Amino acid sequence: MGTAALAHLARRGVRTIGVDRYARGHALGASAGGTRIVRKAYFEDPAYVPLLERAYALWRELEAATDTTLLELTGMLMVGEPDREGIAGTLRSARKFELPLDVYDPADIRRQFPGTQPRSREIGLFEREAGIVFPELAVAAHLDVATANGADVRFDARIASWERREGGYRVKIDDGTAVEASRLVVTAGMWVSDLLGGLGLTAGTGIAEQLGPVDGDDDAVVE
């Protein structure tokens, strides 16, 4: 999230500084691990589908800009009883947005996916447009786009403190420097409570502060 925000802000002409407490390419964040599942038919809520459609387009744009393979559509099989949340929700999202989704009965599942042994009441949903994203490559690609568009990226640098001031924010970095910016974007993952503890947030809590559109007349710090 941090490198994506950094890249998109820099491409818009925003003067942007990115700060990461560890070295470039480290494996200590949520983006480490080789692969991450990506899918469009979100069972959680159909409202996610337009966001996923846009995300897929942005992945392809980033691939083209960096000549890197980031998204591989392998397809994904979900198996469960029709009234289970994951199955019912996936069907709901797929039908609302007419997403390609193959529905299998138990015999179909066993035939199409040997070794899979569904129960008698279970069905299978095969989402052809699901697949995997390569997160480390994606982080590197976003950093390449960000720096190519003038972003200042600082690694092995930790945010010591931040405060809101009239017209923006003042951020102190542990190397003794301070930065003033009109916007502050925090994507600290499991360390969010270190930076935003005063707001009552803990790791896993999402936060978004809408301060108006960000364009080339603004500047931003992304942590």
Q: Are 22 and 40 contained in the same domain? A: no
Q: Are 58 and 122 contained in the same domain? A: yes
Confidence class for position 198, pLDDT limits 50, 70, 90? confident
Average pLDDT over residues 13-24: 95
Q: Are 180 and 92 contained in the same domain? A: no
Q: Are 47 and 122 contained in the same domain? A: yes
Q: Which residues have CB under 8 Å from 86's CB, separation 6+?
A: 43, 78, 80
Q: Cα separation of 121 and 101, whole Å?
A: 19
- pLDDT of 120-171, one tens digit each? 999 999 999 999 999 999 999 999 999 999 999 999 999 999 999 998 999 9
The CATH number covering residue 150 comes to 3.50.50.60
pLDDT at position 204 is 54
Distances (CA, A) of 90 to 73, 83, 85, 105, 179: 17, 11, 8, 16, 45
- Beta pairing, strands 123-127 & 76-80: antiparallel
- Of residues 78 and 219, which shows the higher confidence score? 78
pLDDT at 11 over 90: yes
pLDDT at position 206 is 45
Q: Are 185 and 122 contained in the same domain? A: no
Q: How many domains does the chain have?
A: 2
Q: Are 42 and 116 contained in the same domain? A: yes
* Domain end call among 102, 133, 164: 133
pLDDT at position 120 is 96
Q: Are 85 and 17 contained in the same domain? A: no
pLDDT at 202 over 50: yes
Q: Are 80 and 154 contained in the same domain? A: no
Confidence class for position 200, pLDDT limits 50, 70, 90? confident
Q: Are 98 and 22 contained in the same domain? A: no
CA nearest 139: which of 50, 27, 64, 49?
A: 27
Q: Are 124 and 102 contained in the same domain? A: yes
* Domain end call among 108, 133, 158: 133
Q: Which residues have CB under 8 Å from 136's CB, separation 6+?
A: 25, 27, 31, 32, 34
Q: Are 128 and 165 contained in the same domain? A: no
pLDDT at 207 over 60: no
What is the domain range of residue 98? 35-133
The CATH number covering residue 87 comes to 3.30.9.10
* Domain end call among 82, 98, 133: 133
Q: Are 119 and 196 contained in the same domain? A: no
pLDDT at 214 over 60: no
CA nearest 189: which of 31, 9, 35, 41?
A: 31
Q: Cα separation of 47 and 33, whole Å?
A: 28
- pLDDT of 55-114, one tens digit each? 999 999 999 999 999 999 999 999 999 999 999 999 999 999 999 999 999 999 999 999
Average pLDDT over residues 169-177: 93
pLDDT at 45 over 90: yes
- Predicted TM-score (pTM) of the model is 0.86
pLDDT at 210 over 80: no
